[in-house]
């Protein structure tokens, strides 16, 4: 069974206005993500794509997208990809993140998170979300390896 986040994306994600609405729902549920006004473009098991437009609120003093806005974008895409990938009886939380800033990040950016299938759905384990952020020229400007702690949900 698909996660609630994936079920909602399947319902609303087929149109531009639906993806906009879905993105607002996610930001309402996790308000800090709203600080970058992301747009969830694609969500499926093992993969999530999030876009971010450069504008003043996400810029630093040199006119590029701020490092923490990129981290926020990576955590959002990695978290949603993880949520869409793990079995319904499991939960996740970020445990750590290693990032690299590779080029100046400008313009519209796309974060793509890839998450492997879980090895054993009965055991707690680390799962790695690999995220690349690309600019309009398709150059990788940032990447991240997010360690997610994935564990079985506690019985109610």
**CATH no. for residue 113?**
3.10.129.10
CB atoms near residue 69 (< 10 Å): 22
Domain that holds residue 140: 4-152
- Which has the closest alpha carbon to 82: 70, 71, 94, 66? 94
Domain count, the chain: 1
DSSP state for residue 54 in the 8-state scheme? -
Contact 112, 76 (CB under 8 A): no
Helix-helix angle 16-29:4-12, to 10 degrees: 150
Q: What is the pLDDT of residue 156?
A: 63
Instruction: Specify the DSSP element, H or E, that contains 112.
Output: strand 109-114
Residue 156 CA to residue 149 CA, distance in Å, equals 20
Q: What is the pLDDT of residue 119?
A: 84
Residue 139 CA to residue 137 CA, distance in Å, equals 5
Checking if the pLDDT of 111 tops 90, the result is yes
**Mean pLDDT estimate for the chain:** 95
Q: Is the pTM of this model over 0.85?
A: yes
């Amino acid at each position: 069974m698909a996660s609630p986040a994936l079920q909602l994306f399947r319902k609303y994600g087929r149109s531009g206005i639906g993806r906009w609405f879905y993105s607002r729902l996610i930001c309402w549920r996790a308000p800090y993500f709203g600080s970058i006004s992301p747009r969830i473009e694609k969500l499926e098991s093992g993969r999530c794509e999030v876009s971010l437009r450069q504008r003043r609120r996400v810029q630093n003093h040199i006119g590029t997208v701020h490092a923490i806005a990129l981290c926020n974008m990576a955590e959002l895409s990695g978290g949603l990809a993880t949520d869409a990938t793990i079995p319904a009886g499991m939960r996740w939380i970020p445990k750590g993140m290693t990032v690299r800033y590779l080029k100046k990040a400008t313009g519209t950016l796309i974060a793509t998170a890839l998450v492997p299938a879980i090895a054993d759905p009965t055991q707690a384990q680390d799962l790695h979300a690999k995220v690349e952020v690309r600019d309009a020229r398709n150059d990788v400007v940032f990447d991240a390896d997010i360690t997610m702690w994935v564990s079985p949900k506690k019985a109610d």
